[in-house]
Amino acid sequence: MFIIGELINGMYKNVREAIAKKDESVIMNLAKEQENSGASALDVNCGPLSKVPVEDMKWLVLTIQKASKLPLAIDSTKPEVIRQALEITKNKAIINSTSADEERLEIYVDMALKYNASLIALTMDKKGVPQDKDARLELAAGIVAFAQAKNFDINNLYLDPIVLPVNVAQPQLKLLLEVLHEFKIISEPAPKTIVGLSNVSQGTCQRSIINRVFLTMAAAHGLDAAIADPLDKDLMDAVITAELLLNKNIYCDSFLTAYRKK
């Protein structure tokens, strides 16, 4: 599973303070810790409260790149913030994210092509998050068709069905798992699938176990990637084991260590 570490986000107090004080060590440690715990990429978000998001994002990118060689998922709602960050990323980056609205796709698909980046696309539009499976699938098909028309490599496209908290939209989670399969048959090559995992347990008292079980269920439904907390060792162990049981890696007695040595 391609795990994008979620901990460098201005929503968290330690990150917010580090940005304010330009304290590089906090950010560099977070980058290193996530990498050492098995993250495949790092999400970077300067947070909704940032008054100078372009500067803050650029500082975060430069700081992280001092500590880690992992690809970065540039996470912002503002195209200009993402564009300026892409200018300075050393490795192939991931744009996080576009919606299914055509005007946003227009901006972000072009941007991904220009900077040879991957693109996360949420299956929601101006009307909000769809309440059923078919509407999500329809938006997903629209995103893929748009990307194909622009000759964007579908291998670099991640579709996010948008996971809602279990205490808000309980009936939807089963449908979300089902739609992961259906996204895969939209095109050949198939788009990749991604979830923002921690959302599923937002506002609950048992966050870790809910995240862990949902991620293993999603893995069994073919999920390719998740934005998650790689420092949650139980979560990482669960996903490594899930992939082992799905025959994605060869068993050996030390399979947990072996996976982390990759």
Partner 1 sequence: MGLELVKETWSSAINIVEIGQTKDAGGSRGSIITVGGETGLPFLHSESKTLNKPVTVFEIWDVEPDWPDNLKSPFGKNLKNTLDWAKLCKNEFKAKGLCLRLAGAHPDYGNKTVDELAKLVENLLKQIDLPLIILGCGDDTKDNLILPKIAEVSKGESLLFGSAVQDNYKTLVAAVLADGHNIIAESPIDINIAKQLNILISDMGMPKERIVINPTVGALGYGLEYAYSIMERARLAAFSGDAMLAMPFICFVGFEAWRAKEAKANEQEVPNWGSLEERGILWEALTASTFLQAGADILVMRHPEAVKHVEKFIDKLMEKN
Which residues make up the interface to partner 1 (CB under 8 A)? 249-254, 257-258, 261-262
Q: Which residue, chain included where needed, has tokens 């909704």? A: 48
Minimum distance from residue 243 beta carbon to partner 1 (Å): 12
In Å, how far from its chain's centre is CA 136?
A: 18
Other beta carbons less than 10 A from residue 182's beta carbon = 16
Nearer to partner 1, 205 or 250 (CB): 250
Phi-psi group of 99: left, alpha or beta (phi > 0 → left; psi -120 to 50 → alpha; rest → beta): beta
Closest among 47, 57, 113 to 80, alpha carbons compared: 57
State the DSSP code for 128: B
Nearer to partner 1, 35 or 56 (CB): 35
Nearer to partner 1, 29 or 116 (CB): 116
Q: What's the rounded Cα separation, in Å, for the pair 255 and 2? A: 17
- Identify the burial level of 14 via C-beta atoms within 10 angstroms of its C-beta, where 0-12 means exposed, 13-18 middle and 19 or more buried: middle
Nearer to partner 1, 185 or 252 (CB): 252
Q: What's the rounded Cα separation, in Å, for the pair 257 and 237? A: 10
Q: What's the rounded Cα separation, in Å, for the pair 29 and 121? A: 29
What kind and span of H or E run contains 28?
A: helix 24-36
Bridge partners, residue 4, by sequence: 41, 227
Amino acid 226 reads A
Nearer to partner 1, 113 or 258 (CB): 258
Nearer to partner 1, 155 or 170 (CB): 155
